[in-house]
Amino acid sequence: MIHFSERSSTVLSIASSELIQIFRNRLVLITSLIIPAAVSAFFVRQHDTYAALGSLGYVAAIVLFTITAFGLYTTAVTTLASRRQNLFLKRLRSTAESDAGILAGLLLPVLLLTVVQVTAILTALAVVAGGPDNVVLLVVAALAAVAMLIALALATAGLTNSPEHAQVTTLPVTLGVIAVASWVGISGTESLAWLKRLLPGGAATELTMNAWNGGVAVVDSLLLLAPTLGWVVIAVILATRLFRWEPRR
């Protein structure tokens, strides 16, 4: 019990230190908080326009992936690359804390900030445009998207040499998932359904739309978790092979 308490204390200590660093670093603060929140607020304000292109569920999906792609994924990759470059990861690994505990402590602040942002913006959308048909299913969709992007961040961090390099390595996934979300949200899944659902973010977008718009059986919607969780597994496998605790020589 004491051992577990000590481990928890170490993780929280790492997390609190990381949270302070986020608020001290203006660039990270802007990219992880201000930009995603501002863009999402724009979509909420213009929800009628974008709902006309797809649906309110589409607006919810775009908000979800804007925050998780820019705020969570990009910030997580940048954080891990920065901590590796300044040898902080190496120093942490010399402590008694496990690898999983170290990563949890480093990523917990940005994860919590993302959850707060997603909750606040989607609540605002519900207030101004009408709430989701199934709140529980919406939460499941959001958690699936978060899990996928956290796993992809760990994999991408293995290919990222520095915080500056993260601006390049994160672009494919960041822009890709938003593009897929827009494609699925606007065109639906009446055609090329299998392709859209297999692409990163495609199934999670459809699940989010089903949760918000309704009209689809819950069991059928939950089946959409499979492709998203599949990407989590793939990303974790890649992360175990690619992730480095020390700078590349």
Q: What is the pTM (predicted TM-score) of this model?
A: 0.90
Cα angle: 39, vertex 43, 44; to 5 degrees? 115
Please identify which residue in the block is written with the tokens 């998207």: 145
pLDDT at 119: 92
Q: Which residues of the chain have pLDDT under 70?
A: 1-8, 248-249
How far is it, in rounded angstroms, from Cα 184 to Cα 191? 10
Domain assignment of residue 219, given as a range: 2-242
Q: Is residue 117 part of a domain?
A: yes
Token reading at 214:
């309704």
Q: What's the Cα-to-Cα distance from 93 to each of 3, 98, 226, rounded to whole Å? A: 17, 7, 34
| Per-residue DSSP letter, 69 | I
pLDDT at 20: 84
Token reading at 74:
């990009």
Would you list the DSSP string of 182-204? Answer: HHHHHH-SSSSHHHHHHSTTHHH
Q: Is residue 201 part of a domain?
A: yes
Q: Is residue 119 part of a domain?
A: yes
CA 216, 220, 222, 223 dihedral sign is negative
pLDDT at 111: 93
Q: Is residue 247 part of a domain?
A: no
pLDDT at 61: 94
Q: Is residue 127 part of a domain?
A: yes
pLDDT at 2: 42
Q: Is residue 249 part of a domain?
A: no
pLDDT at 1: 42
**pLDDT tens for each residue of 158-176:** 899 888 898 899 999 999 9
Count other Cβ atoms within 10 Å, centred on residue 83. 22
Q: Is residue 168 part of a domain?
A: yes
φ and ψ at 86, to 5 degrees? Answer: -90, 15
pLDDT at 60: 93
* Number of domains within the chain: 1
